[in-house]
Amino acid sequence: MGKASARAANAGIQTEQAIALVRQENDRFSMESGRARRAFVLTFGCQQNEADSEKIAGMAKAMGYEIAATPEGADLIVVNTCAVREHAEKKALSTVGQYKHLKAQNPDLVIAMCGCMVSQQHRAEEIKRRYPYVNFVFGTAALGAFPALLWEWMNTRRRIFRAAEAETAIAEGLPVRRESGYRAWVSIMYGCNNFCSYCIVPYVRGRERSREPEPILAEIRELVAAGYRDITLLGQNVNSYGKGTKAGWDFADLLAEADKIEGDFLLRFMTSHPKDAGKKLIDVMAASRHIAHQFHLPLQSGSNAILAKMNRHYTAEKYLETLDYLREKMPDVTVTSDIIVGFPGETEEDFEETMKMIERAQFDMIFSFIYSPRKGTPAAAMEDQVPPEVTHARFDRLLELQNAIGAEKNRELVGKTLRVLCDGESKNDKATVSGRTEGNKLVFWRGDPAARGNFVRVKITSAEAFALQGELLND
Ligand code: 5AD
Ligand code: SF4
C-alpha cells in the first residue's frame, strides 16, 4: 500500500497501521476461540458502491476476517448504502433494523454503515438517534479510514460518526477483494461537479477528482494478466476525466492508452454525460481493439424545458447529434439510457417529447426511474411536483413503448453469431448457461457451465425485450 492511502485515512492512525493492529487482535481471537472472525458486507446502489464494497471486503480480509455470504453468525457487518432514490434509503434502513436481533444474540457483533446515504447529515443524525446498535459510520470520502475507525471502536467502544467530512484525497492502493474472477470494476474518478438539480450524488460523493492515469493503467494491466476479461472503468461523469491530474490527459487519451494493453479482454466505461461525450472519444472507441461497442448515455428527459430545469446543459437535438455520430462510427453499437419520469413541472407535452425521443433514439434498453425528491437538491424545492398517479401512468406508457423497441432491436440479432462472455449456470434453470454479449446483452444457451469466465461464440436463435437465446458454436 502506498503513502497516499495511508494519508487518505487521516483518522489518527494510518490505514496500513490500523489493518495490522486489527489483524493482531483478530489473530489473537482465532487462537483463543479456534475460529476466524467473519465479516459480511452488504451493498446497495450502483457499480461505484459495488467497487467500494470490494475495497471494504479487501480491507476486512487483510484485517484477518473471513468474508461471509450471510449476516447470520458474522462478527462484523458493514452496510454500504445508496441515496439516489428514497426507495434505496428505506431498504438500507429496514435491513439494518433487522440486524438488531443479531446484535441481541451476539453483543460483540460490530455493525458499521457507510456510503452515500450516511454521508447526508440528516441521515447520520437519524442513525445516531434511532439505530443505537450501529457502532460506527463513515462517509464515501472516508473509505480508507475504515480500518482505523474499526480499531478505534474496538478500543474505546464509543460510537463514531465520520459521515459528512470532505476528505477528498483518493485512497490509492487499498486492498481489493473482487467478487468475480473475470469481470472487474476500476474506479477512475470520484465525485461529481455537475449538480443536476434532482441528484444527491454531488452532495454525498463530493467534488470530482480523478486518479492519475499510471495507477489506473497499472491496475488494468494487472487485471488482464490475472485473466480478467471484462473491465469497466467507473466514474459519475467519465467524460470529464483528467481535470486536475498531473498528466493532464482526457478520457479519450486514457482509453486510447488502455487499448494498447495486449490480451483478450473488453473495456467498458460508465457513466457518460451527453454534454461532454465528444467525437474524440467516439473516434477512439471506433478505432479500438478492446473497447466494447456499448454506450450508456443517460438522456433523462426528451423535453428541452425539463432538461434545462434539470441543469443538464444539452438539448434533445444535441443529444441526437451525438447518438447519430455514435451509430455512424459504430453501426453495431448498443446504446442504453436513463430516463426520469415525473420531474417537477413535467407536463403532458414534456412527457410526449420524451416518448418521441424514445421512438427516435431506438435504445436497446433504458433504465427508467420515477422521480424521487432528494432533500437538499434544488428540484426537491421546486413547485409543481407531479402527482404519483400521473407519474405512474406515464412510467407504464414509457415501459410499454421501450419494451417493444428493445424486443425489436434484439430480434435484429437473430441469426447472428456473437462473442459472449460466459457467466456459467443460469440461476433459474440449471440446464442453461448464461452470459453477456459485447453490448452487455443477456444470452442463454444450453451448454457447459465450465466455460464460465471465457469468451464463447453463440448463434442467436430467438430474442425478447430483455434477453437473447442461442446455440453454442463449437469451433
Ligand atoms: N429520482 C429519480 N431518479 C434519479 N436518478 C438520479 N437521481 C434521481 C432522483 N432523484 C437517476 C438518473 C441517473 C440514475 C443513476 O439515477 O436517471 O442517471
Ligand atoms: Fe448526478 Fe448529474 Fe452527477 Fe450524474 S452527472 S452523478 S446525474 S449530478
Helix (H, G, I), strand (E, B) or coil at 343: coil
Whether the per-residue pLDDT at 397 is higher than 80: the answer is: yes
Residue that finishes a domain, picked among 135, 162, 189: 162
- Give the separation between CA 100 and CA 111, rounded to whole angstroms: 10
Query: Between 169 and 308, where is the model more confident?
Result: 308
Instruction: Kindly state whether residue 169 falls inside one of the protein's structural domains.
Output: no
Question: How many domains is the chain partitioned into structurally?
Answer: 4
Least confident of 7-21, 418-432, 456-470: 7-21
Q: Is 192 in the pocket of ligand 2 (CB under 6 A)?
A: yes
Residue 455, domain extent: 417-472
Instruction: Kindly state whether residue 172 falls inside one of the protein's structural domains.
Output: no
Q: Are residues 319 and 391 in the same domain?
A: yes
CATH number at residue 450: 2.40.50.140
325 by Cβ neighbours in 10 Å (0-12 / 13-18 / 19+) ranks as: middle
pLDDT of residue 430: 80
Write out residues with Cβ below 6 Å of ligand 1: 84-85, 198-199, 298, 300, 338, 340, 369, 371-372, 374
Q: Are residues 109 and 21 in the same domain?
A: yes
Query: Which residues lie below 8 Å from residue 180, measured CB to CB, with a gap of 6+?
Result: none
Write the CA distances from 93 to 69, 99, 100, 131, integer angstroms. 20, 10, 11, 9
- Give the separation between CA 44 and CA 130, rounded to whole angstroms: 20
The best mutation among 44, 49, 84 to test binding of ligand 1, ranked by most ligand atoms within 8 Å of the C-beta, falls on 84
Helix (H, G, I), strand (E, B) or coil at 307: helix
pLDDT of residue 163: 79
Whether the per-residue pLDDT at 85 is higher than 70: the answer is: yes
Give the pLDDT band of residue 168 (cuts 50, 70, 90).
Answer: low
Residue nearest to atom 4 of ligand 2 (CA): 236
Instruction: Kindly state whether residue 397 falls inside one of the protein's structural domains.
Output: yes
The best mutation among 201, 205, 301 to test binding of ligand 2, ranked by most ligand atoms within 8 Å of the C-beta, falls on 201
Q: Are residues 28 and 158 in the same domain?
A: yes
User: How confident is the model over 339-355, as pLDDT tens digits?
Assistant: 999 999 999 999 999 99
Q: Are residues 306 and 399 in the same domain?
A: yes
CA of 289 to the centre of ligand 2 (A): 29
CA of 298 to the centre of ligand 2 (A): 10
Q: Are residues 452 and 381 in the same domain?
A: no
The best mutation among 85, 195, 236, 275 to test binding of ligand 2, ranked by most ligand atoms within 8 Å of the C-beta, falls on 236
Q: Are residues 463 and 361 in the same domain?
A: no
Q: Provide, rounded to the nearest whole percent, the portion of the chain with pLDDT above 70.
A: 96
Give the DSSP letter of residue 99: T
- Reading the block at residue 216, the C-alpha cell is 489506473
> What does the pLDDT average to over 322-350?
98
Instruction: Kindly state whether residue 152 falls inside one of the protein's structural domains.
Output: yes
Whether the per-residue pLDDT at 6 is higher than 60: the answer is: no
pLDDT of residue 166: 58
Ligand closest in space to the Cα of 341:
1
pLDDT of residue 246: 94
pLDDT of residue 170: 78
pLDDT of residue 268: 98
Give the pLDDT band of residue 164 (cuts 50, 70, 90).
Answer: low
In terms of Cα–Cα distance, which of 445, 446, 442 is closest to 467?
A: 442
Give the pLDDT band of residue 171 (cuts 50, 70, 90).
Answer: confident
Give the DSSP letter of residue 68: P
User: How confident is the model over 187-215, as pLDDT tens digits?
Assistant: 999 999 999 999 999 999 999 999 999 99
> What does the pLDDT average to over 151-172?
84
Give the pLDDT band of residue 173 (cuts 50, 70, 90).
Answer: confident
Q: Are residues 189 and 334 in the same domain?
A: no
Instruction: Kindly state whether residue 87 falls inside one of the protein's structural domains.
Output: yes
Q: Provide, rounded to the nearest whole percent, the portion of the chain with pLDDT above 90.
A: 92
Q: What is the mean pLDDT of the chain?
A: 94
Give the pLDDT band of residue 5 (cuts 50, 70, 90).
Answer: very low
**In this structure, are residues 154 and 170 in contact, taking their beta carbons and an 8 Å threshold?**
no
Q: Is 14 in the pocket of ligand 2 (CB under 6 A)?
A: no
Amino acid at 422: C
CA of 101 to the centre of ligand 1 (A): 33
> What does the pLDDT average to over 390-407?
98
Q: Are residues 28 and 142 in the same domain?
A: yes
> What does the pLDDT average to over 36-41?
98
> What does the pLDDT average to over 326-341?
98
Q: Are residues 100 and 245 in the same domain?
A: no
Strand duo 66-67 + 38-43: pairing: parallel
CA of 328 to the centre of ligand 1 (A): 29
Q: Are residues 132 and 46 in the same domain?
A: yes
Residue that finishes a domain, picked among 162, 190, 216: 162
Instruction: Kindly state whether residue 175 falls inside one of the protein's structural domains.
Output: no
> What does the pLDDT average to over 287-300?
98
CA of 61 to the centre of ligand 2 (A): 32
pLDDT of residue 13: 76
Ligand closest in space to the Cα of 88:
1
Q: Are residues 305 and 399 in the same domain?
A: yes
Instruction: Kindly state whether residue 377 falls inside one of the protein's structural domains.
Output: yes
- Which H or E element spans position 184? strand 183-187
Helix (H, G, I), strand (E, B) or coil at 230: strand
Instruction: Kindly state whether residue 171 falls inside one of the protein's structural domains.
Output: no
Least confident of 10-24, 325-339, 455-469: 10-24
Residue that finishes a domain, picked among 412, 429, 446: 412
pLDDT of residue 3: 39
Q: Is 294 in the pocket of ligand 2 (CB under 6 A)?
A: no
288 by Cβ neighbours in 10 Å (0-12 / 13-18 / 19+) ranks as: middle
In terms of Cα–Cα distance, which of 357, 346, 348, 266 is closest to 318?
A: 357
Q: If you count them, how many residues does the chain have?
A: 475
Whether the per-residue pLDDT at 7 is higher than 80: the answer is: no
Q: Are residues 278 and 136 in the same domain?
A: no
Helix axes 279-287, 251-258, angle to 10 degrees: 10
Helix (H, G, I), strand (E, B) or coil at 236: coil
To the question of pTM greater than 0.85 for the whole model, the response is yes
Whether the per-residue pLDDT at 269 is higher than 50: the answer is: yes
pLDDT of residue 428: 82
CATH number at residue 13: 3.40.50.12160
pLDDT of residue 167: 54
